[in-house]
Chain A
């Protein structure tokens, strides 16, 4: 059972494209076609506007919160080809960095696991993916992967940080040997996995299964199992779950979650990775869970599932 505990009236003057809670669920960031990014304090069912950030010159597609250990930092990307990083200093939110290195709309931004430092991946319609790394003192270093996807890149998602080998506490002066990876989805119908080797980003895997543009990718959080899981969704109406069993990341196998009747726009995992939310063009959000026999079951239909969770949908007359 679900219940609405708060309805935040954002007063955006145009369509909202993304809304994200911060790490603790105390703040909400929204972005819209009206070119603004707004931040609200939503504690205890309230809605206090903290900031109305202007800086973009076109619709803002996505926002992403950085890990709180770096302070209160929010990234936004827009049709205006810019990525802006906003930071809260002395109680006020300001633009702290603006990246204009793309030739076309930037569609997706995603912060890397905090263990890697403050790094932002950005995917753009110019087909490139940029990686912005904070090096200190207000400086950001840029690495660009040109032609990551032909025609355009629509989504980026980082793999969880996993330290290969030992779990012994390391002295802080030594950075553990993380293998950094992220996944991207593009207009070439592909999902690609990128790996950092010798400070260079290389394409590690090409996952082919979709027959139309990939709209979103989401790498599942790790619950300590040796398997990695990625969800991808596409204009072809399909959602695939990709799993890789070995640590070297070589063999990925897709499993079709479902074929929807319309474009599927978003996929996202819950924090313990046990539920996948799928936003489709058919006005529904469906929630999926893996069942006993490894098959994925839609728990929006309560009779089939094991939990009391329902899907959320709008009251359409032709809904059954």
Chain B
């Protein structure tokens, strides 16, 4: 059904819509504004006139979210633990065949169910301990939703995963009913804990409950109390007790075949029939009704509607007393008629009823479809379908998105996780196990995770690197580099751009470093620059930065000849940008002024040539208008000339200096 945006103005406005990465935006607007169409022929004032008579309250934008459940704190356990079970299942031994594989899958199913129950418990605790009625309402709703999920899952486990055969099937269904129909529990407790149970007004109700649920021993125990209190009915009691004791039940072991059981049951049924017809219980309507129930009399069972509360309880009771060896495929007939008889045209089936019905009819796809519609998030259907797929029960239905239903649902579920600030990490694993579209979905989603902290960025990066998602790695590194640069963290920016292998950015940042150096006379982030290693080659400017720093290091360590050689190479090999030559030549000054000769003749000629190249270049002509620059050039020329003089003498007099 269409969803109304609360607070939206119902007058004639239109809705503008935009997708966000997680949430969506909706705002009220009016399309068809003047001036948009045509060559500006329409006049702007038209739109002003339109909106003139309206309330100005149309300036709101609604941020709408689709899946709220992932934000519920108490459900966190559900998502986290089921993720663990899911992963275990994906990695589990496929080589195990037959019985052991089935046992394994049943265990997985049980694990999922225990997680649901644990969550229910937490939710219940939360409901009980909160004082806020709205919150209490929310928690209670969640508890009933979880309870319904567990009910459905349990039935699916019995029918599909375990695929219980005739015989054990009934036992499982009985367990299922006993576990889930809890409305009578408090009544039972009340009667059992009273001083004189047989005198309690609800005594017979409780006996009936036990009989309806096939809890024979408990029923007999209660009845014995009645017998001791009422010696007159001792005879009747003994017969009924005996019948109940002898009732043949399917067993889990291989102690009897179905045929044997059916035979025994037939005999027993006839015996019950005889006692009823003889009028044995005629004087005690309660006991007579119990006998009728034992005979599977539908009307007698239906009379106890309030004690059963649901049609599926009625179904199982019916089966227990009329066809305990029911085969799985026969369930559908009993199910439909049970529901009709129980509801009796007074009420119509609810979504939960339809889902259970679909399960009894073994229509797995229908179960999944109905659950998808009714439940507010994809958790349930995604995990259940995955399990059923591992049981090899789902034929492949080719869907455009997701090559089969399993993948389709997992993709939806995982996509939903990505809007959460920490649950997205679980989503990654789910995408990994979607062979067709998992990877591309991951690529699209992982880029949208806000990289608030360096830690988070590194985490995301690691995930991308592990999966060879090179584009995403590059993109993330570039984003981080840009962020660092904006915050003036040059070192960080540089290391990110190296990681991104982004030459252009590295050049930009290196220029910034060099500019900083020129302004302040020192380098920041020395560690980083000193340890660039081969990544220095990423960009020419970066190489220069690294080498220039090396020059300073050599100078600092007083390794002057090496420093000198490096300095010269920086210019002659054109590693240094022209704009920096003046600075380099200036750096050469102290080397030229040293007592010992550092630059050889050849090197000095090279330096001179560099200086001439620099001063001759048109680009730098303006620079030399300034006195500063002219002085510098003069000083350099002088120093170079002096050095040349000294070195010629030195090289001339001492051989092989």
Contact = CB atoms under 8 A, between A and B. Distances in A.
Interface of A: 1-21, 23-26, 28, 30, 32-33, 42, 45, 58-59, 61, 67-71, 79, 88-90, 104-105, 107, 114-115, 125-126, 151-152, 154, 169, 171-173, 187, 213, 221-224, 263, 265-266, 268-272, 274, 277, 279-281, 283-285, 289-292, 294, 300-303, 305-317, 319
Interface stretch (B109-117, B273-281, B441-449, B632-640): B441-449
B31 interface: yes
B39 interface: yes
B244 to A, nearest CB: 47
A8 B60 contact: yes
Contacts of B400: 290-292, 294
Interface stretch (B15-23, B338-346, B354-362, B515-523): B15-23
Given A5-B63, A16-B58, A125-B36, A308 B479 contact: no
A15 B63 contact: no
B426 to A, nearest CB: 18
A283 B251 CA distance: 63
Contacts of A213: 37
A314 B10 contact: yes
24 contacts: A2-B66, A5-B68, A6-B63, A7-B60, A8-B62, A12-B59, A15-B29, A15-B58, A18-B16, A23-B447, A25-B23, A68-B482, A69-B479, A89-B486, A105-B35, A115-B471, A152-B38, A224-B439, A277-B19, A289-B401, A290-B400, A308-B372, A314-B28, A315-B10
Contacts of B502: 172
A319 B2 contact: yes
B448 A23 contact: yes
B18 A281 contact: no
Given A21-B23, A285-B26, A308-B377, 19 more contacts: A1-B376, A13-B56, A15-B47, A16-B59, A21-B25, A33-B47, A105-B40, A125-B38, A152-B39, A169-B470, A172-B474, A277-B17, A279-B14, A281-B31, A291-B399, A300-B2, A302-B1, A314-B4, A314-B28
A41 to B, nearest CB: 12
A305 B48 CA distance: 41
A107 B412 CA distance: 34
Contacts of A104: 39-40
Given A265-B14, A277-B19, A30 B37 contact: no
A8 B61 contact: yes
Given A17-B29, A265-B14, A302-B1, A223 B8 contact: no
Contacts of A311: 2-3
Contacts of A152: 37-39
Contacts of A68: 479, 482
B176 interface: no
Contacts of A151: 38-39
Interface residues of B, number: 95
Contacts of A289: 401
B349 to A, nearest CB: 15
Contacts of A45: 63
B44 A5 contact: no
Contacts of B35: 58-59, 79, 105
B445 A272 contact: yes
Contact of B437 (A8, A107, A223): A223
Given A8-B60, A23-B448, A274 B401 contact: yes
Nearest to B7: A7
B558 to A, nearest CB: 38
Contacts of B2: 284, 300, 310-313, 319
Contacts of B25: 19-21, 28
A165 B18 CA distance: 33
A20 to B, nearest CB: 5
A100 B68 CA distance: 45
A3 B15 contact: no
A113 B44 CA distance: 34
Contacts of A71: 482, 486
A105 B398 contact: no
A10 B399 CA distance: 42
B8 A79 contact: no
A279 B51 CA distance: 20
Nearest to B56: A13
Contacts of B13: 283, 314
A300 B3 CA distance: 9
B9 interface: yes
A310 B62 contact: no
A79 B41 CA distance: 12
A28 B25 CA distance: 9
B8 A314 contact: yes
Q: Most chain-A Cβ atoms within 10 A of its Cβ — which of B58, B60, B451, B501?
A: B60
> Which of A79, A171, A300: most chain B Cβ within 10 A?
A79
Contacts of A263: 31-32
B503 A20 contact: no
Q: Which residue, B15, B372, B440, has most C-beta atoms of chain A within 10 A? A: B15
Interface string B432-465: 0000010111001101111100000000000000
A9 to B, nearest CB: 5
Interface in B52-91: 56, 58-68
B450 A25 contact: yes
Contacts of B6: 4
A279 B15 contact: yes
B526 interface: no
B33 interface: yes
B18 A18 contact: yes
Contacts of B419: 25
A19 B470 contact: no
Contacts of B8: 314-315
Contacts of A306: 369, 372, 408
B399 A281 contact: no
B17 A266 contact: yes
B210 to A, nearest CB: 40
A7 B35 CA distance: 29
A114 B36 contact: no
A183 to B, nearest CB: 18
Nearest to B30: A15
